[in-house]
Amino acid sequence: MNLVETRGLCKDYGAFRALDRISLAFGDGELVSIVGPNGAGKTTFVNLLTGLLLPSSGIIHFKGRNVVGLPPVVLAGLGMARAFQLVQIFPRLTVAETIAAAVISRQGKQWRFLSSAAGDRDLAARVHEVAEVFGLQDRLQTPSRLLSQGEKKLLDVASAFALKPEVILLDEPTSGVSTAEKHAVMTTLIAAAKAAGVKSIILVEHDMDLVAAYSQRIVALCEGKLLADLPPAAFFADPVMVEAVVGRRRGH
């Protein structure tokens, strides 16, 4: 059974169709990269999968269940999570507090319990476990705003991993990260996914070197339509395909 499947997925904004009849399936053990030029519909697609947007038509199945209309917090409880970018939202939180916030949200608790949760041994153990997987165990008391850009990206992803997802969706997790750090971030991310039991990663990424290095499949979108769904070797062997995807300024 596919973990995630879309059938005829469309998203309209008035007369403009941002996503046009996208049918895709994502299975166990896959890292699938979503690529495409500016306006391709990549982020729209991820926003639909994670409940941030409602489709105009079409179906989204997660583990065999139609999840259209379910909000992100419910989807996270079912096992589909997306990086929160909590570092940008709450820059004054420490690394430990940022991870704890995600753990608490999964437990169905309220934000008002965050201060009293410091004495919660289960919570503390989970925070340390997640931090160690991402190499952040020595930075737990550091305010997130003081982290390097690479560390901030890892913390963003760590907050999503704290939800114990089966499927995780990542929208350009290496954006703003130096070229030297990008592969370190991806290597850590993939190792963390294996350690955490994540079954599938859906990655929106513009860096074609990363896409080539880490993907099992490449899904190319262009002007809201599905252009290709190919293994990396076949994708990069087609110069017309590569030009269609990277020949224009990148974007969403």
Q: Do both 11 and 93 map to the same domain?
A: no
Q: Do both 174 and 244 map to the same domain?
A: yes
pLDDT at 223: 92
Q: What is the mean pLDDT of each run of 10 residues along the chain (252 residues)?
A: 93 95 95 92 93 96 95 88 76 91 65 51 86 92 92 88 89 85 90 88 92 95 94 93 71 40
Using CA atoms, how far residue 96 sits from 101, 139, 153, 169, in Å, is 9, 8, 15, 22
Q: Do both 116 and 134 map to the same domain?
A: yes
Overall number of domains in the chain: 2
pLDDT at 119: 52
Q: Do both 145 and 113 map to the same domain?
A: yes
Q: Are 101 and 162 in contact (CB under 8 A)?
A: no
Q: What angle do CA 7, 9, 14 make, to 5 degrees?
A: 160
Of residues 120, 91, 90, the one with CA closest to residue 103: 120
Angle between helices 95-106 and 121-133 (to 10 degrees): 120
Q: Do both 59 and 105 map to the same domain?
A: no
**Interatomic CA distance for residues 1 and 126, integer angstroms:** 30
Q: Do both 46 and 64 map to the same domain?
A: yes
Q: Do both 171 and 217 map to the same domain?
A: yes
Using CA atoms, how far residue 16 sits from 6, 23, 54, 70, in Å, is 20, 19, 15, 24
Q: Do both 52 and 109 map to the same domain?
A: no
Which of the listed residues 110, 136, 164 is the one where a domain comes to its end?
164
Q: Do both 66 and 125 map to the same domain?
A: no
Query: With the C-alpha atoms ordered 50, 53, 54, 57, is the resulting torsion angle positive or negative?
Result: negative
Write the CATH number for 184. Answer: 3.40.50.300
pTM > 0.75: yes or no:
yes
Which of the listed residues 107, 139, 164 is the one where a domain comes to its end?
164
Residues paired with residue 13 on neighbouring β-strands, in sequence order: 16
Q: Do both 29 and 12 map to the same domain?
A: yes
Q: Do both 55 and 112 map to the same domain?
A: no
Q: Do both 89 and 153 map to the same domain?
A: yes
The domain of 207 spans: 1-79+166-252
